[in-house]
Amino acid sequence: MKKPLAVIVGPTAVGKTDVSILVAKQLGGEIVSADSMQIYKFMNIGPAKPTPEEMKDVKHHMIDIVEPWQDYSVAQFQRQARRCIEGIHSRGRLPIVVGGTGLYINSLIYDLNFTNTVSDPRFRAELQKLARERGKEYLYERLKRVDPGTAKRLHVNDLRRVIRALEVYHCSGKPMSEYNTGMRDAELYNPVIFGLTMPRQELYRRIEKRVDRMMDEGLVDEVKGLLERGCTREMVSMQGLGYKEVIGYLEGEYSLSEAVELLKRNTRRFAKRQFTWFKRDDRIIWMDIHEIGDKDRTADRIVHYIKLNLKA
């Protein structure tokens, strides 16, 4: 019999962390982060990691596992996260996967094979140089020619993923979009997937408040510290929301207030892309936090559903 797996997804700032911790406490579960930025050490404010107090109450996995200057692939995430899930099952507890990185989520609940998707750091560096010299639009148009399916779901400013898609095509001769077709369920798990949502304008207000809070908590100093450690803006980790915008400010490209507004705009756009990604999966059980009432009621509803439907 397939092993049970609870999954909580949704856009940034919707409240996944709060709800998932409440669910884990009620069910005696452990949380596996599926966030492509929470994996990095020394980067706490931008990815809105759970606080030490929250992680003391509920065990978390796949957070602070990679140095920010190291490369990290979806295949590596899949292997490590599945080991974490097996460990949770062996302790007789429920694994709860939580995050907003769609490909990370799919790598766990679907039988995606990444073994043919090799990397070429030299080619990637060439693309990064081209982006600086000829602009993001040049690479995006190049991607549209070789992999229109992936280009359609990416924004022209999502340089990291545009480059990764070009790298996949360069290395394998196969468009990245083909890796997500004909997906079979992973044989390991019996997943139940919950999607958290709320009215778009309410989410945007939460995003703006989160950005203001990040600035108050010292995001600029956090970025300065990473640069002092030797990080550069070309690194994958530094392409994350909050970091690339603050680097632009620190390098004199615009003012701090302009950086804040840019971060708010980019985060809103990112949330919209997350919605688009997750809406394609018709197995997701959507829960509108605003309609339900609050995070506590939302968590209670998820717990009730899991108890009724998710069997070991």
d(CA 35, CA 272): 16
pLDDT attached to residue 180: 54
pLDDT digits (tens, 9 = 90+) for 228-252: 999 999 898 999 999 999 999 999 9
90 has pLDDT over 90: yes
pLDDT attached to residue 74: 86
pLDDT attached to residue 112: 73
pLDDT digits (tens, 9 = 90+) for 275-297: 999 998 999 999 999 999 999 99
271 has pLDDT over 90: yes
How many other CB atoms are there within 10 angstroms of residue 282's CB atom? 5
Could you tell me the fold of the domain covering 121-180? Histone, subunit A (1.10.20)
Termini Cα distance of the chain: 8
Domain boundaries, the chain: 3-112+183-309, 121-180
d(CA 82, CA 87): 9
pLDDT digits (tens, 9 = 90+) for 20-65: 999 999 999 999 999 999 999 999 999 999 999 999 999 999 999 9
Q: Residue 229: CB partners within 8 Å, gap ≥ 6? A: 42, 68, 69
Model confidence at 75, in pLDDT bands (50, 70, 90)? confident
Q: Which helix (H) or strand (E) holds 190?
A: strand 189-197
d(CA 95, CA 5): 6
Mean residue pLDDT across the chain: 92
Q: Are 239 and 159 in contact (CB under 8 A)?
A: yes
Q: Are 26 and 295 in contact (CB under 8 A)?
A: no
Model confidence at 269, in pLDDT bands (50, 70, 90)? very high
Domain at 3-112+183-309, CATH class: alpha beta
* Percent of the chain whose predicted confidence (pLDDT) is above 90: 76
pLDDT attached to residue 33: 98
Model confidence at 183, in pLDDT bands (50, 70, 90)? low
d(CA 103, CA 180): 9
Distances (CA, A) of 274 to 57, 101, 305: 28, 8, 24
